[in-house]
Structures are given as structure tokens and as C-alpha cells.
Amino acid sequence: MKAPSVKLPIRTSNGQFGAHYSEKGLAELDFPSVGRASPRAVKPIGVPTAIRRWHQATAAALKQVLAGRSPKSFPPLDLAGTKFQKSVWNALRKIPAGKTKSYGEIARAIGKTKAVRAVGGACGANPIPVLIPCHRVVAANKKLGGFSGGLNRKRELLAREGVSL
């Protein structure tokens, strides 16, 4: 897996996210650190024009999701993962704001009906949470399941989209 080449901050009402870009697109998105001061935003001096454009698109999409809406557009994504993980992440991108699917429903959607636990693993390995909406995946009993950003953050994201569990 090739390391992202540029990290830029995105300030939101939920704290400062970190967006990592490769030469192909957005590669990772970090949640704000809890309990630590966010580093000051830096100006993207010397950052290639394409990455600056991708960063604007990333910031806009992130803010739309945090407001409970579906983003109008996305930057190009540079997803490093297995074929299976990428199939899960692509299925997650098809879940609209305000809706949820179970791990089993995602497994069926990608044609791997017995891979429910592996779907959970792929959700946990999602390098671009929020924009690839793993927060919209719940357990079969409509319980929250897990979330890399913590269950409180998952509840909050779902509530903003009008989902109550």
C-alpha cells in the first residue's frame, strides 16, 4: 500500500478532520482527535492544483454528510484494499442518507452471503469513513454494531440523517 503524499485539515463543527491525498485522489480521512487540541490549519502552499480541487470537493462532501445530506459530488478516491474490501466499500456508497443496511444485506449485495463477519471487518478497515458511509451499516437486530469513530459518533451521524435505532 502506497502512503498518501499530502495531508490537509478540514475544519468542521465536529472538529478538524484530516484528509490524506495520493497522486490519484483522496486516500484516507481521519476523525478529529477527541480530548486533544486540533492542530492549526495550514495553507496548502505548494500543494498541486488537482489536490487543492480534490480537497475543496472533500470538504464540501464531508460537510454535507455531517449536515445529514447526501453529497452532490466526491473527489476521486484512491482506495487501497483487497478486492473484497473494495466491493464492500462500493456497496456502502450506494446506501442513501437516512437509510441503513445490515452487515448481512451488504454481504448479499456483493454476492458473498456467508461473509457477514468479513463485511464487518471491511467496514472497520474503511479508510474514508463518513464519505464511504460505514456508519449506515447496522447489526441484523437493528443494533448499532461497531464503528471506527466510536458508537457515539455513529449515533450522531445517523441521527443527523433522521435514523433512530
Asked if 116 and 107 touch (Cβ cutoff 8 Å), the reply is: yes
Longest dimension (CA), the chain: 49
* Residue linked to cell 451521524: 157
Find the catalytic residue in 134, 157, 158, 163: 134
Is 134 noted as a catalytic residue in this protein? Answer: yes
Instruction: Specify the DSSP class assigned to residue 43.
Output: -
Side-chain-side CA neighbours of 22 within 13 Å: the count stands at 14
Question: Residue 45 class from Cβ within 10 Å (0-12 exposed, 13-18 middle, 19+ buried)?
Answer: exposed
* Residue linked to cell 468542521: 12
Phi, psi of 12 (to 5 degrees): -135, 175
**Grid cell of 19 as nine digits:** 484528509
Residues noted as catalytic:
134
